[in-house]
Amino acid sequence: MDNPNQLLKISNLQVAFPTDDGEVRAVDNLNLTLNIGETVAIVGESGSGKTVTSLSVMGLHNMRTTKVSGEILVRDGDETIDVVSAGMEKVRGLRGRAVSMIFQDPMSSLHPYYRIGNQLGEAFLVHNPGKKKEAKARTLEMLELVGIPQPDKRANEYPHQFSGGMRQRVMIAMALMNNPKVLIADEPTTALDVTVQAQILTLLKDLQKEFKMGILIITHDLGVVAQIADRVSVMYAGNLVEQGSADDIFYNPMAPYTVGLLHSVPRITIGKKSRLQSIPGQPPSLISLPSGCAFAPRCTYIANAPAGSCDASLPVLTGTDSSHVSRCHIPEANRAALFSVGKAK
Amino acid sequence: MLGFISRRLTFSIITLLVVVFAVYAIFSLLPFDPAALTCGQHCNPQIIHSNRIRLGYDKSLLAQFWLFIKGIFLGRTYGFGASAFTCPAPSFGFSFNQNECVSTLLAQAFPITINLAIGSLIIWLIMGVGLGILAARYKGKFLDTASSIFVLLGISLPIFVTGLFMLIWVSLKWKIIPIQLQGYVSIFSNPIGYAKYFVLPWITLAFAFAALYTRFTRASILETLGEDYIRTARAKGLSEKIVLRKHTFRAALAPIVTMASLDFAGLIGGAILTESIFNLPGLGRLTLQSIYEFDLNVVVATTIIAAAVVIVMNLIVDLLYAVLDPRVRI
C-alpha cells in the first residue's frame, strides 16, 4: 500500500463456493479501501456478500469449501500482508491483533462455559504469551473503557449474567484487547434494541477516536449507516453497485438499488396515508445469476435504460468522480432527476 | 444446593416406593399362588397353608408391602418358634427357590455386574469418544469413513451375535483373547484371572455402546464447531488446537457425560444378554431366572436396585452438569 493512511485495501476480491449445483459467486470483483480514523459501511440485503467479505478479510471462511482470489492487503505496523496469499499461520497472527471483529449476535458469540475475564484475557495472551499479569490489568482496563461498571467483579461472571447490550460491550472490549487498527463490525447492533443500539454506536465512535482505528461496518440498516459511516459501499448479489461518501449515497444516489433501499426506510415525516415502499421481488439466487444486470428483474427504472441493455450486460462502475461510482445503464445525466429521493422529501 | 439435594432425595424415595408397590401389585395380579410355589415335591394343602402364614402371604397386599418395607430397615423373621429364621437388615425377603435370603443373593450378584459395567464403560468411553473426535477432526477423510463402518456394525449387530462371535471364534477357535471359565475372582486377589474373566464380556458390551458414542461425539463436535463462539475464538487468533481443545471439547462433551451416566445406570440393572452369553452370575441373570421362577422377592429387590441406581445417577448427572455448564445453577 502506497498511501500511509491506508489500513486495508481490498482489490478484485472474488469469493466463490463450489457446490453440486454450480459455483456460488458470493462476492465478485470487489474493491474497497479503509483509512485511519475512517468508517466505511457495506450495505446490502441478506445474501449480497457483506458478511462473506468481512469473513474473508479475517481469513475466517472455510478454506476447504471456499475459493478466494484477489488481494486483501492489511497494514500490520510497517508491514503489509496479503490475507489471500499469506499462509494460515500468518493470518492467524493478524487476527485479534491487527484486525479484530465483532459479530451480530452477542448472545451466542461469547463462550457460555468460560468467565468473561478468562475470555478477554485469552485474547490478550494469544498474542502476548505468558504475560498473565498484563492480561488481567488490560482486561479490567478494557471493561472499564467500554462502560462496564465494577469491572473487577464482572470479569468473574459468565456471559449469561450479562444483558445483550453489555455482552456486545464485552465483545468490543475483547476485540480491542490488542489495539487493532482495523475493526470489522458485522451487524453489531442488529440483535439489540434501538436505545442500546445508539449507545453501542456512540461507544464505537468514541473508541475509534481513542484507538485511531478504521472501522468496516457491515449492516443492512441505513439508520446505522447515517449515524456512523463516512463512506458507503452498496452491494447487491455479490457486486458493488454504488460506492461513495455517506452524503453522496443519501442525497445523491446514482444506482436504482440504492434508491430502492432509501425508499424502504421508514420516515417519521411520511404522511399517514402513504405506505412504505419496498423493492419488489426477491434477491436472485447466486447460482443462477441473470446474465445482465442482477438487479434488472426488480428494477423500477428499467424503462429509462437503453432498450435491452440491462439484460445484455452487467453495467460497469462509472462516475464523474472516482470517489462516487455506481453501476447502471441509465445515462448518468438522466439519473439525478429520476432518483431525486432524499433531496425532495 | 443442599435444598436441591434434599428435595431430590425426598422425591427419589417416593419414586422408589411407587416402583416397589407397582412390582408388588403386578405380581399379585398373576394367576398363581406364591405359597404353592414354595413347597416342592411333597406338597399337600397343610404345608401350603402353613407356608402361606409363615411367609406372610395370607395378609393383604398393603400389609405385605408394609412388612417388606419394614424388613429393609429392621430385618425380617419368618415363622415362629424353633422353625423361625431371620434375614437380617437390609432384608429384601427370602427366596424359596434358592433357599437363601435375597440380600445374600444380591451380595453375590452385584460385584459381577458392577465390574462388568465399570470395565465396559471405560472401554466404550475411550473407544467411542476417541473415535468420534477423530472422525470429526478428519471429517470426510478415510478415518471418518472407517469409523462410520465401525458405527454401522456396532449399532446393527446385536449383542447375542457379537457375544457368540467373540466367544466361539475370537476366544475358543482363534485363541486371540483367552477366557477363564473358573469363575469370578476379585481384582485384588488375582488381577490376571479377573481380567481374563471379564475381558470378553467387556469388549462385547463396549462395542455396542462405543458405536453409539462415536456417532454422538462426532455429531456433537461438528455441531459445536458451527457455534458463533467458536468463530469468536478463531477471530481472536487462537490456534486450531486451542479452539478444539479448550473451546470445542468442553461444550461438545458435556452432553456425553449425561448419556454415559444414564447408560451406566441402565447396565447396573443388569446386562441380561451379555451376562447370559458369558455365563456371568450377575444381577441381570438373577432377575431373568427369578422372573421365570416367579420368585417375587428377588424380582422386587433387583427392580429396587435398578430404579435406585437410575435415580441416584440422575441426581449425580444434575450436579455434574452444573459443574460443567455454568448456565445450570442449582
Per-residue model confidence (pLDDT) at position B268: 87
Tell me the nearest-neighbour CA distance from B11 into chain A, angstroms.
30
Chain A contact present for B251, CB below 8 A: yes
Tell me the nearest-neighbour CA distance from A268 into chain B, angstroms.
36
What lies within 8 Å, CB to CB, of B192 at 6+ separation is none
Confidence band (pLDDT; 50, 70, 90) for A4?
Answer: confident
Q: Which residue has the higher pLDDT, B148 or A46?
A: B148
Confidence band (pLDDT; 50, 70, 90) for B89?
Answer: confident
Residue B291 amino acid letter:
I
CB contact under 8 A, A110 and B324: no
Strands A317-321 and A22-35, how do they pair? unpaired
Nearest chain B residue (CA) to A119: B233
Residue owning grid cell 413347597: B39
Is residue B205 scored above 90 in pLDDT?
yes
Nearest chain A residue (CA) to B235: A95
DSSP characters over A84-100: TTS-HHHHHHHBTTTEE
As a whole number, mean pLDDT of residues A97-107 equals: 92
Confidence band (pLDDT; 50, 70, 90) for A155?
Answer: very high
The 10s digit of each residue's pLDDT in B30-76 is: 777 777 777 777 778 888 888 888 878 888 888 888 888 888 888 88
Is residue B181 scored above 70 in pLDDT?
no
Confidence band (pLDDT; 50, 70, 90) for A140?
Answer: very high
Q: Name which of A92-96, A202-206, B238-242, B291-295 the model is least confident about.
A: B291-295
Confidence band (pLDDT; 50, 70, 90) for A341?
Answer: low
For chains A and B, count residue pairs whose Cβ atoms are closer than 8 Å. Answer: 64
Question: Length of chain A, please?
Answer: 345
> By C-alpha distance, which of B231, B228, B230, B237 is closest to A74?
B237
pTM of the model: 0.85
Is residue A70 scored above 50 in pLDDT?
yes
Per-residue model confidence (pLDDT) at position B35: 78
Cα gap B317→B247, rounded to integer Å: 22
Angle between helices A116-127 and A132-145 (to 10 degrees): 120
Chain B contact present for A51, CB below 8 A: no
Confidence band (pLDDT; 50, 70, 90) for A160?
Answer: very high
Chain B partners of A100 at a C-beta cutoff of 8 Å?
A: 235
C-alpha A335: how far from chain center: 27
Percent of chain B beyond pLDDT 90? 40
As a whole number, mean pLDDT of residues A30-44 equals: 94
Cell numbers for A142, please give them: 478494557
Per-residue model confidence (pLDDT) at position A68: 93
Per-residue model confidence (pLDDT) at position A291: 83
What is the distance between the terminal CA atoms of chain B, rounded to a whole angstrom?
A: 6
CB contact under 8 A, B237 and A171: no
As a whole number, mean pLDDT of residues A72-90 equals: 92
Burial of B189 (0-12, 13-18, 19+ CB in 10 A): exposed
Taking all residues of chain A, what is their mean pLDDT, rounded to a whole number? 90
Per-residue model confidence (pLDDT) at position A344: 40
CB contact under 8 A, B251 and A105: no
Q: Which residue has the higher pLDDT, B85 or B199?
A: B199
Q: Which of A103, A126, A160 sits opposite B237 (nearest CB)?
A: A126
Chain B contact present for A167, CB below 8 A: no
Provide the 10 A C-beta neighbour count for residue A85.
13
User: Cα separations (Å) of B282 from B112, B160, B183, B274?
Assistant: 5, 17, 12, 10
As a whole number, mean pLDDT of residues B298-313 equals: 89
> By C-alpha distance, which of A52, A49, A57, A62 is closest to A75?
A57
Chain B partners of A138 at a C-beta cutoff of 8 Å?
A: none
Cα gap B102→A170, rounded to integer Å: 61
Percent of chain A beyond pLDDT 70? 98
Chain B partners of A168 at a C-beta cutoff of 8 Å?
A: none
Is residue A343 scored above 60 in pLDDT?
no
As a whole number, mean pLDDT of residues B187-208 equals: 89
Paired strand residues for B161: none
Chain A contact present for B248, CB below 8 A: no
Nearest chain B residue (CA) to A121: B236
Half-sphere exposure of B169 (CA within 13 A, CB side): 7
Chain A contact present for B234, CB below 8 A: yes
CB contact under 8 A, B233 and A126: no
Nearest chain B residue (CA) to A56: B235
Chain A contact present for B247, CB below 8 A: yes
Per-residue model confidence (pLDDT) at position B323: 83
As a whole number, mean pLDDT of residues A11-26 equals: 90
CB contact under 8 A, A126 and B238: yes
Is residue A147 scored above 90 in pLDDT?
yes
Is residue B275 scored above 80 in pLDDT?
yes
CB contact under 8 A, A174 and B236: yes
